[in-house]
Structure 1
Amino acid sequence: MTELLLPLLSAMVSGAFATLFLFSAGYRLFNLKRAVAAVGAYRVVPAHLAWLVTFLLVLLEIIVGLWLVMGVKKVGAAVMAAGLLAIFAGAMIVNIARGRRDLKCGCLPGLHATVSGRTAWLNILLANIILYLGMMPRPTSFIEDWIGMALGGVILLLCISGLSMLQQPPVDQDEG
């Protein structure tokens, strides 16, 4: 049972993180000015480098996402994913230490979270999850691997959708 469960769990985690990074990169690409403004708002790089940092961030997210999907460079993909999450957490921690808690997190498209200790710790937790489970062997069967990856991606997108809906104000309904 364990011989199938851990590889399937590894495929699900890889699928979820691939979806996360590819989804975030796509969102940043289609909202480039907003993404550059978000990077600049963190004030961890000089303002004139915000475009370059945003471009590199998008490029790295695409590379990591594709490597996770394809199952190539598994250790490199897991380390790069964890590194990106650690960088995000570090930028949040720097701003928390500066007393700047009003910044939009920019963590996930569609979510309007602000920088907090909770979001920083969540990034650190996710970095550890991808390091541990992302390096485990994935299913040897192509179909089982892709089912696990798809399931992980779908679960992540459902979670994002649910969280996004919870953030929306309730709709007033007319009585009558």
Structure 2
Amino acid sequence: MDPLILYLVAAALAVILLTGALDKLRHFSVFEGAVLAYRLIPASISKVFAGAFVTAELAAALLLLLPHWRTEGAWLALGVLGVATAGVVVNLGRGHTDVACGCGNLKQQSAGLSWWLVGRNAVLLLALSVLFLPRTAFIERSFGWVDGLTFFGAALALLGLYFAANQLIESHIKLQKLKEI
């Protein structure tokens, strides 16, 4: 496999995690409210959990950008995505869908939870699995300027697809709720 894929996945996931963490920090009280609304932990520790979650998300993003720490960042990202996805799955199983996801863009009213969010996170986890492949899975080669252009173009394309998918998921959930009225 081309090693450029490794760098591309790490960078795209780092940007996704970083933007999510920064939004949670900017709107921390809203994120803490989302954590409470999930009803998975006692209210007395929700602020501590919310702080630890954002810290882990931020650390994962930063570690993914450092080649010598990428594996640790991948494990941390796996934990963050796993906990977030598990919270969504538990609440969907309870039929508790009118909960703000808490994923990002917290300043806007969330449409709620859906299985599409679980699917989105499954795709992120699948992409994350590339970072756990042994070094021998990637061919040895040097990078040139064309690789730089490819990297930035592909990274922007992946991030555009991710944010477009988020908008589609949000719109779909809102449309489904309108149909129920």
Give TM-score scaled by structure 2 length. 0.75
User: Which of the residues 112, 131, 137 maps onto 1:134?
Assistant: 131
CA contact (8 A) 1:17 1:153 kept: no
Contact 2:71 2:131 in 1 (8 A): yes
Q: Which deviations, in whole Å up to 9, do the C-alpha atoms of 1:14-70 show, x marking residues without a partner?
A: 111000111111101111111111111111111121111111111111111111112
User: Aligned match of 1:27 in 18, 23, 28?
Assistant: 23
Cα pair distance change 1:159/1:108, threshold 3 Å: farther
For the residue of structure 1 that corresponds to 2:68, the secondary structure is coil
- 1:97 matched to 2:93: yes
Of 48-57 and 137-146, more deviation after overlay is shown by 137-146
1:155 is aligned with what amino acid? Answer: A
Q: Is the counterpart of residue 121 in structure 1 residue 119 in structure 2?
A: yes
Counterpart residue number, 2:80: 84
Matched letter for residue 37 of structure 2: A
SS at match of 2:112: coil
- 1:1-176 → structure 2 map (5 Å cutoff): 2=1, 6-109=2-105, 112-131=110-129, 133-136=130-133, 137=135, 141=143, 150-151=152-153, 153-159=155-161, 161-163=163-165, 167=171
Number of matched pairs: 164
AA paired with 2:28? L
- Counterpart CA distance in 1 for 2:103 and 2:75 is 19
State the shift of 1:102 in Å. Answer: 1.5
% same residue: 24
Q: Which runs of 5+ in 1 are unaligned?
A: 170-176
Secondary structure of the corresponding residue to residue 80 of structure 1? helix
CA displacement at 1:7 relative to structure 2: 1.1
Superposition deviation, residue 126 in structure 1: 1.6
> 1:63 and 1:164, CA in 2 relative to 1: closer, same or farther beyond 3 A?
closer
Question: What runs of 5+ residues in structure 2 fail to find an aligned partner?
Answer: 175-181
TM-score by length of 1: 0.76
Contact 1:64 1:77 in 2 (8 A): yes
